[in-house]
Structure 1
Amino acid sequence: MLNERTRKKIAREHSRRLSEGDIDGLLGLYAEDVTFEAPVGAGRLAGHEALRAHFESAVAGNVDETIVESVVGQDGTHVLSRITAVMDYRPSGPLYADRGWLPAPEGAEPTALRCHYALLLRVGESGLIEDMRAYWGKPDLETSVDGRSGPFAGPSVIDPDEAALRELPHNYLRLLQKGDVEGTVALFTDDIVFEDPVGGLLLRGKDALREHAFRGSEGKVHEMLGRLVTSMDGRFVVVLGDARVYVPARMRMRMITICEVNEDRLGAHIQGFWGLTDMTIGIPDDDTAPEPAPDTARRPERKDALKPFGTPS
């Protein structure tokens, strides 16, 4: 297992080498038998040869990446980053337009392309990346006719299913902060799997989620969401969160959550990534985050007390 700071350093080095066009150095971060999917929904590939072809395309467009935030799993293996990448429109832009990922240019061809995405790396005990997944959907692509300084514009119309997927985290947060536990739980499947954090708490089913949601509301959690991204197959939404917890102590947490949905757009698997290095204990009284919603949550009525997952009944 690699510690949290080491995994974050690998993520930073990954973006640095890609931005510098150092493909050989970039491949040196990966195990020979690496598996990857970039973007998620485009199909999984394996090995250095396929990975080299993927990176060569990005480097040909003079990609320049900025890490918005990196967080880790408490499982000792994962690091998840929200990244913004800016590149020349060619060569990837025309290819994306052919695939229907971008609208065909009308008039002047764009000069620059921007992609908002999330990069999930699984790092083995050797310190090499064993699996890579890049999450981004069509609305996460933007173009500019005025160069890399922008302005950038995304699609003018978003598919209704995509719009519903992107609304899910906002609905969850709105209901949770209102203290509407039942409304919150209704957004998920009966057999929901909830990991918060990954490598730590694992919950299964609505009863366990109901108790978790109540504790979040009771603990006066206030969370602000950053720009989210999705996946090409419409199954995932990934959102950056900045949370304040006021009970039992004043804490700030930076987290990135991956939510997998089913065909009915209900959450089926939630993975919350945050580690000890993503927490600040004892935030000052003049912290600028809005105050949490009033404590209006009602404890769910249960015939028996919930036990931690894995505890014999």
Structure 2
Amino acid sequence: MAAWEADDVRDEVAIRAEKRRKSVVEEYFRRLNAGDADGVLDLLTEDVRIEDPIGGGGPRERRAYVTGQVDARVQITPGYVVASHDDEQVAVPYTEHRHGRTTDTLGVFRIDPQGLIKELRTFRGFDDEE
């Protein structure tokens, strides 16, 4: 196999892996929008780390965080999902609709090799809310 062919194969593998990580994040939003708390929890590792201005924490807080989002009937409109070359991270800007308010947010996810979310960080400020 020529060097350029090996590069092409490596690129194809990387692209498939990036698409897989992106699809996990897209599925997270789909399940959250559907109000499927158990489905969202199925996408999270047992030891997930969640950093969000409105809640989060470690493994013990994961269910409370997800059910809080579902109970608030949060609706997410995701923007363009971008995967990092580091084989873990995915970032996506999104608009969150909650209690009649709209907030521009940035989510950064770390996905493990099994395709589960092991870390979720959200960034938003008071000025990002309408």
Corresponding letter in the other structure for 1:78 = Q
Residue 15 of structure 2 corresponds to residue 4 of structure 1: no
Corresponding letter in the other structure for 1:46 = G
Corresponding letter in the other structure for 2:40 = L
What SS does structure 2 have at the residue aligned with 1:3? helix
2:58 paired residue number: 46
Give, in angstroms, the shift of residue 84 of structure 1.
Answer: 0.5
Runs of 4+ in 1 over 4 A off after TM superposition: none
1:20 paired residue number: 34
Show structure 1 runs of 5+ residues with no match: 89-111, 143-313
Q: Is the helix fraction higher in 1 or 2?
A: 2
Corresponding letter in the other structure for 1:38 = D
Assess if the C-alpha contact under 8 Å between 2:55 and 2:65 holds in 1. no
1:69 paired residue number: 80
1:97 paired residue number: none
Give, in angstroms, the shift of residue 44 of structure 1.
Answer: 6.3
Assess if the C-alpha contact under 8 Å between 2:56 and 2:62 holds in 1. no
Corresponding letter in the other structure for 1:32 = E
Give the Cα separation in 2 of the matches to 1:120 and 1:55. 16
Give the Cα separation in 2 of the matches to 1:114 and 1:5. 28
Assess if the C-alpha contact under 8 Å between 2:51 and 2:57 holds in 1. yes
Show structure 2 runs of 5+ residues with no match: 1-13
Identity in percent? 31
Residue 70 of structure 2 corresponds to residue 82 of structure 1: no
Q: Which structure has the larger Rg over C-alpha atoms?
A: 1
Q: TM-score, normalised by structure 1?
A: 0.35
What SS does structure 2 have at the residue aligned with 1:69? coil
Assess if the C-alpha contact under 8 Å between 2:48 and 2:117 holds in 1. yes
Give, in angstroms, the shift of residue 61 of structure 1.
Answer: 2.0
Give, in angstroms, the shift of residue 118 of structure 1.
Answer: 0.8
Give, in angstroms, the shift of residue 43 of structure 1.
Answer: 7.8
2:9 paired residue number: none
Give the Cα separation in 1 of the matches to 2:97 and 2:57. 24
Assess if the C-alpha contact under 8 Å between 2:56 and 2:65 holds in 1. no
Corresponding letter in the other structure for 2:48 = V
1:37 paired residue number: 51
Higher RCO, 1 vs 2 (CA within 8 Å, ≥6 residues apart): 2
Q: TM-score, normalised by structure 2?
A: 0.82
1:117 paired residue number: 105
Give the Cα separation in 2 of the matches to 1:79 and 1:115. 20
Corresponding letter in the other structure for 1:122 = R
Give the Cα separation in 2 of the matches to 1:67 and 1:119. 10
Give the Cα separation in 2 of the matches to 1:53 and 1:113. 21
Instruction: Give the CA RMSD over aligned residues.
Output: 1.8
- Cα deviation digits, residues 133-191 of structure 1 (max 9, x gap): 0111111122xxxxxxxxxxxxxxxxxxxxxxxxxxxxxxxxxxxxxxxxxxxxxxxxx
Give the Cα separation in 2 of the matches to 1:119 and 1:68. 10
Give the Cα separation in 2 of the matches to 1:115 and 1:20. 19
